[in-house]
Amino acid sequence: MVMSDEAPKGLTFQPDIYPKVLSLLPEQRAARILDVGAGQGYFCALMLEQGYTRVEACDYDAAKFKLSGVPFHAADLGQSIPLADSSIDTVVCIEVLEHLENHLRLFREILRVLRPGGTAILTTPNILSIPSRWHFFLYGYTDCAPLPLDPNEKQFFRHHINPIGVPQLLYLTERFGGEMVALTTNRVRRSARAFVWLLGPVLRLALRGKLLRAKHASHHDLHRRHLHWMLHPANLTGRITIAVIRRRPG
């Protein structure tokens, strides 16, 4: 299974993401699962250990992938995924979104390759938790990176160049034929408890107030979906956003 003397390593700074995503995979061990942004193949190896038999990987650099027996599809994830329409049961994409320039193309491709009714599990740093919003208020940049982005960094894609929050996740999911069905996180931030107590009621009043404005009457269903996910505990308190989306039938 391993292609080199060195076993594949996970690349995220939040390793408790992996067991959480494993718990969200389909029960059917014969489901065809594509790991988008697979890196060295660490999560693919975890899925194989759990008995999944049709695991595939997709990323830009085949030379870094360390597993044999797992089909690898080389691709620029900002452009396309080289697989047929409606061919995948489940897509996993772990800590990739924030590194890509073009979210629209990736979402369009993920939902294209998913079969109708298939699901995608996407993880990305939560920039809309209340502690993260407070960090942005104080410093002017999100707390998914310890410092402002360095414009002189040659390998800029290694950094969080394009953070994404729940409203954008919801928009892109629905834009390309999907629906958000679940939101969770790897862990609750300890600092979130005090912030939610202080700022949670204000946020709820603001969001609900906008829903009730007469000029938005024609978009009430959209506002309700937005309100539901924005006020979700995982969004307000979680360290990592883990979204489960499903491709709508038809």
pLDDT of residue 2: 46
pLDDT of residue 54: 97
pLDDT of residue 224: 84
| Concatenated DSSP letters of 19-70 | HHHHHHS-S-TT-EEEEET-TTSHHHHHHHHTT-SEEEEEES-GGG--BSSS
CA angle 196, 198, 202 (to 5 degrees): 90
Hey, what CATH topology would domain 17-128+141-189+238-247 get? Answer: Rossmann fold (3.40.50)
Q: Three-class SS of residue 242?
A: strand
Predicted TM-score of the model (pTM): 0.89
Virtual CA dihedral for 65, 70, 74, 75, nearest 10 degrees? -110
- Residue-level pLDDT, tens digit, the chain, 250 residues: 444 446 667 677 788 999 999 999 999 999 999 999 999 999 999 999 999 999 999 999 888 898 988 999 999 888 899 999 999 999 999 999 998 889 999 999 999 999 999 999 999 999 999 889 888 999 998 888 777 877 887 777 677 778 999 999 999 999 999 999 999 999 998 888 777 766 667 667 766 666 666 666 677 788 888 888 998 999 999 999 999 999 999 7
pLDDT of residue 101: 87
pLDDT of residue 27: 95
The side-by-side arrangement of strands in the sheet containing 88-94 is 72-74, 54-59, 32-36, 88-94, 114-125, 240-247, 178-184
Which of 187, 207, 193 minimizes the C-alpha distance to 131?
Answer: 193
Q: Three-class SS of residue 126?
A: coil
Amino acid (1-letter code) at residue 58: C
CA angle 22, 23, 25 (to 5 degrees): 65
- Delimit the domains of the chain by residue range: 17-128+141-189+238-247
pLDDT of residue 1: 47
pLDDT of residue 197: 66
Q: Where are the beta strands (DSSP E) in 95-164?
A: 114-125
| d(C-alpha 158, C-alpha 99), whole Å | 6
User: Do 41 and 68 contact (CB within 8 A), yes or no?
Assistant: no
| d(C-alpha 100, C-alpha 84), whole Å | 22
| d(C-alpha 98, C-alpha 14), whole Å | 14
